[in-house]
A and B are shown apart, each in its own frame.
Chain A
Amino acid sequence: MAVFVFIEHREGKLMDISFEALSAAQKLNDEVIAVLSGENVGDLAEKVVKYADKVIVVDDPKIDTNNEAYTRVLDELIKKEMPKVVIMGHTSMGMDIAPAVAIDLGLPIATDVVKISKDGNIKVTRSIHNGKVLADYYLKDAETYIITIRTGEFSAEELSEKNGKIERVDSPLKEEITNKKFVGFVQPEVGGVDITQADILVSVGRGIKDKENIPLVEELAKIMGGVLSCSRPIVDYGWLPKERQVGTSGKTVKPKLYLALGISGAFQHVAGMKGANMIVAVNKDPKAPIFSVAQYGIVDDVLKVIPALTQKIKEIKG
């Protein structure tokens, strides 16, 4: 029985999630078949085949950067090879493609999965309710299961080398996609502040409650010689610019100190800051997931802790 791994790449580069998906597939102890489709993807095959028994390469200019084209190609390959499981990332691309494949082929799908086990049937574990609960699910008996995996849960470091074979196949895509046309990428704006360069980040989340409290945090950051950063909702609300956002859809940072104030520690946030040398979290909820990545924690109201800490640091610095 084979496990398909959908390889994600963008602008000529393999995405990290592709290796995580290969790692998840290897754990199932079946034949690992990577599906590499797109335009001019041949070069990438060498890197992928290292960790797969086989790489199926579909090179077709009609596919590139069109998720509908990727979907239809994957549909055809699944019909032909009948893998037991198809694994891809629960990424923006995975969310656009995987459910479509599931309906096209009438297959069960489980998304944002953190663990896959074989317990007679395929069993998946998902992390729900803000990371506070785990849930196991069984999928209905089927020829093939579609599974998307959460970023950062399957370690690419655990990959073993397979050095299989590369197989080029003709593109099953007959016509251009006309209902959904790729127009272009829009690069993130380059602003004045680069939070990835800061040694100290004072980072604020929804726990700050109100835009009016931002200056309090700004003052603390200034006293500490640090830079202000934030979780996503703060940017969504328009309280701070996008360039300050830490996480999967923002920036990845590795400061000496990351001070998380009123941030719950959603995985999308943690993925962007877990590489910090030292993490300190302040949160009124002792069960907030942020405390499992922090070295030091204070369970208290940030609106009380921020001024107190500002005061103490002022005293220390004199």
Chain B
Amino acid sequence: MDIIVSVRKVPDTAEADVMVEKSGKDIEKSRLTFTINEWDNYAVEEAIQLKEKYGGTVTVITVGPKDVEDILRRSLAMGADKAIRVDMEDPEDAYTLANILSAVIKNQKFDLVLFGAQSGDFNRGVTGVLVARMLGITHAAMVNGIEVLDGSIKASRELEGGLNEVYDIKLPALFTIQTGINEPRYVSISGIRKARKKPLEVLTPSDLGIGSIEPMVRLDKMYLPPPGKLAEFIGGSTEEAAAKLASILKGKGVL
């Protein structure tokens, strides 16, 4: 089975103090660290596990400037065979992005395409299905289980409240992958170094025959949420705060 996985590099903002640039068009990125999008990491792992079981190839692709290449190298180290980067700034419009990605995928041999269910920075959750529709192939979003049959795949889709639904889906198909589908393997620095010899192709939009695409969605501005109601903060040293909290809980009768 030949599989293509589309991956994105995202800033790690869960623990960071996030500020918006003066332009209002982006966040200040200089002090942030970046990683592969969490959902995409599960997608790469899934592709590699399928390859290990059924043979075939795994190709990882991304759209972004040179400094996103490390997530491709990381995916190669996990076991992907080949990587492709389309050299341009990450388009803020998912429709534009989907056009570029489908142009890349169209030229490859594949049975299955995997996307993340969403990107951790913009959480649009839209790009994969846009691409599937542009390619004219069957899709399933939010897939959390894959079982390969003959010419089709039994895919489990995550619904709300812990419920899943299963579809039988004809290949070629595109799935967007939900977290928890597998246990992504550990990637060592030496593994990344060893994977350096694997092919990484760089394409430009004009290589793909893509001129300018009119965006469907345009950012007006980014801003910090207005300060809302906040918790009453319990201050002091760890010991003091713990003691105060314990006595509040006792006072309220919850202990």
B-binding residues in A (CB < 8 A): 10, 15, 65, 68, 90-93, 95-96, 98-100, 102-104, 108-112, 123, 126-140, 178-188, 199-200, 206, 224-225, 232-233, 235-238, 242, 245, 248-252, 256-257, 264, 278-281, 284-287, 291-292, 294-301, 304-305, 308-309, 311-313, 315-317
Contacts and interface: CB of A to CB of B under 8 A. Distances in A.
B193 interface: no
B180 A224 contact: no
B20 A133 contact: yes
> Which of B27, B220, B231 neighbours the largest number of chain A CB atoms within 10 Å of its CB?
B231
A147 to B, nearest CB: 11
A296 B232 contact: yes
Contact of A92 (B134, B160, B169, B241): B160
Contacts of B180: 232, 235-236
Interface stretch (B53-61, B79-87, B137-145, B195-203): B137-145
B246 A92 contact: no
Contacts of A111: 124-126
Nearest to B125: A95
Nearest to A65: B165
Interface string B82-118: 0000000000001100000000000000000000010
Interface of A is mostly: mixed
Interface in B123-150: 123-126, 128-130, 132-134, 138-142
Given A185-B163, A296-B245, 10 more contacts: A96-B129, A100-B139, A102-B130, A108-B217, A109-B126, A128-B121, A180-B169, A224-B255, A291-B231, A298-B245
Given A112-B125, A138-B217, A308 B163 contact: no
Interface string B212-224: 0011111111111
Nearest to B217: A137
A103 B134 contact: yes
A137 B219 contact: yes
Contact of A186 (B94, B166, B183, B241): B166
Nearest to A183: B166
A310 B229 CA distance: 28
Contact of B162 (A178, A242, A287): A242
B126 A96 contact: no
Contacts of B22: none
A233 B248 CA distance: 30
Interface of B: 11, 13-18, 20, 27, 94-95, 117, 120-126, 128-130, 132-134, 138-142, 154, 156-170, 176, 179-180, 183, 214-225, 228-234, 238-239, 241-243, 245-250, 252, 254-255
A280 B11 CA distance: 28
B184 to A, nearest CB: 10
A134 B166 contact: no
Contacts of A138: 217-218, 220
